[in-house]
């Protein structure tokens, strides 16, 4: 019997209202949200594939993009409170969460296209885009590909600044190790992983990598499903190889000159080091950098109240970018110059070194 054909058109929402508790990790949200601000889980079918997203609130639109292996529930600690002031849309990237997981293009440029398509289906014309980790790379790529849609850019521990990335992700990109993710499907695999995580956290406390162990376990919990592990591997190999990150944003950071940019980093981030934050801040004219002390790769989990405050203040204190085609042409003709890079001499030199011939960008 042939399967039913995919719908090649948007379909109505099916909805589930979050109750204010992060059901996946047990984290409490920043404060009890107003009922109207509670995120609801909804779906649209675009290009024949189901896209899941959480949406709440009203007013100017904030788009929250999660990282690799994660899903839109990662924003639960801040989503509802932000939705008291904005319309907040948090999608599950294709291959993640409750979105479909086809054999597809999982590059950052493809993800940027997916964000554009979802916003079009939702009749959203302008956004402040917030991206975490891989989602930060997607947010930067989205800003590059669709500048007319972007009012502001907030990058939270984003990938794609330089090659440096945690050795675990480098190893996971290798064929024989990436394929070993299938071992997580063995009956006792995940209980043993959780036990190891609990022992590590009890031993190390909240220092260093131990701070992010609950989030790592939450991501790993989805990977035993074959389509999820395949999508994770394809996504990872699109941005990381054994040498590190293969996509960099540094050579195009100067194009954000006309866009308000806020950078957020954890001082103890062992996935993407905080030094990347200083490089990105130096390479992005007029950007602001907030460093969360004693925070890891998920600063919005470690201190959601502060994160919400930063987002609100940033949006309230900046004017939305206005796309100017003539200005874009001017900047492209001039290109990046040393004068566009700010900061201490050592930081400027580090930025220029990282933009050497060994780096390349998504196109």
Q: Look at the chain and count its residues.
A: 363
- How sure is the predictor about 33, in pLDDT bands with cuts at 50, 70 and 90? low
Q: What are residue 22's phi and psi, to 5 degrees?
A: -75, 100
Options 66, 96, 132, 297, the catalytic residue: 297
Residue-wise pLDDT for 229-250, tens only, equals 888 888 888 888 888 888 888 8
Chain centre distance of CA 240: 15
Residue-wise pLDDT for 267-320, tens only, equals 999 888 999 999 999 998 899 999 999 999 999 999 999 999 999 999 999 999
Residue-wise pLDDT for 78-133, tens only, equals 999 999 999 999 999 999 999 999 999 999 999 999 999 999 999 999 999 999 99
116 by Cβ neighbours in 10 Å (0-12 / 13-18 / 19+) ranks as middle
Options 99, 133, 229, 295, the catalytic residue: 133
Please, what sign has the CA dihedral across residues 105, 106, 108, 112? positive
In the residue annotation, 133 being an active-site residue is answered as yes
Q: How far is CA 276 from CA 138, 153, 178, 318, in A?
A: 16, 17, 26, 24
Q: How far is CA 306 from CA 57, 68, 139, in A?
A: 20, 24, 21
Cα torsion at 271, 156, 150, 354 (round to 10°)?
-50
The span from the CA of 272 to the CA of 160, in Å, is 9
Choose the weakest-confidence range: 83-97, 183-197, 329-343.
183-197
pLDDT of residue 350: 79
Options 92, 269, 302, 303, the catalytic residue: 269
pLDDT of residue 14: 58
For the chain, what percent of residues have pLDDT higher than 90? 51
In the residue annotation, 269 being an active-site residue is answered as yes
In the residue annotation, 297 being an active-site residue is answered as yes
The span from the CA of 212 to the CA of 92, in Å, is 21
Helices and strands, number each (H, E), in the chain? 13, 11
Place of tokens 């195009």: 252
| pTM (predicted TM-score) | 0.84
The span from the CA of 25 to the CA of 27, in Å, is 5
The span from the CA of 276 to the CA of 280, in Å, is 6
The span from the CA of 331 to the CA of 320, in Å, is 19
């Amino acid at each position: 019997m042939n399967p039913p054909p995919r719908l090649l058109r948007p379909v109505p929402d099916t909805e589930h209202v979050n109750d204010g508790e992060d059901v996946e990790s047990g984290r409490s949200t920043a404060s009890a949200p107003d009922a109207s601000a509670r995120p609801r889980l909804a779906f649209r079918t675009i290009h024949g594939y189901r896209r899941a997203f959480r949406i709440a609130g009203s007013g100017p639109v904030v788009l929250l993009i999660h990282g690799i292996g994660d899903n839109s529930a990662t924003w639960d600690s801040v989503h509802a409170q932000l939705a008291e002031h904005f319309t907040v849309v948090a999608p599950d990237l294709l291959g993640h969460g409750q979105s479909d997981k086809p054999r597809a293009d999982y590059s950052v440029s493809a993800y940027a296209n997916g964000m554009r398509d979802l916003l079009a289906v939702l009749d959203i014309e302008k956004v402040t885009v917030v991206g975490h980790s891989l989602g930060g790379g997607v947010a930067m790529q989205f800003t590059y590909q669709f500048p007319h849609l972007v009012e502001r850019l907030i990058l939270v521990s984003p990938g794609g600044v330089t090659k440096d990335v945690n050795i675990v992700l480098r190893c996971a990109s290798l064929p024989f190790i990436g394929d070993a993710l299938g071992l997580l499907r063995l009956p006792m695999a995940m209980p043993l992983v959780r036990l190891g995580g609990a022992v590590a956290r009890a031993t190390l406390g909240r220092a260093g990598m131990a701070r992010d162990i609950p989030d790592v376990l939450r991501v790993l919990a989805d990977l035993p499903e074959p389509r999820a592990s395949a999508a994770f591997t394809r996504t990872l190999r699109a941005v990381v190889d054994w040498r590190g990150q293969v996509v960099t944003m540094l050579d195009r950071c100067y194009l954000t000159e006309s866009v308000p940019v806020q950078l957020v980093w954890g001082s103890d981030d062992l996935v993407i080091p905080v030094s990347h934050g200083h490089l990105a801040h130096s390479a992005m004219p007029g950007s602001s950098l907030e460093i969360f002390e004693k925070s890891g790769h998920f600063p919005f989990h470690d201190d959601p109240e502060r994160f919400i405050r930063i987002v609100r203040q940033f949006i309230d204190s900046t004017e939305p970018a206005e796309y100017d085609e003539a200005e874009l042409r001017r900047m492209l003709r001039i290109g990046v110059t040393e004068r566009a890079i700010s900061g201490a001499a050592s930081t400027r030199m580090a930025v220029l070194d990282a933009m050497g011939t060994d780096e390349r960008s998504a196109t």
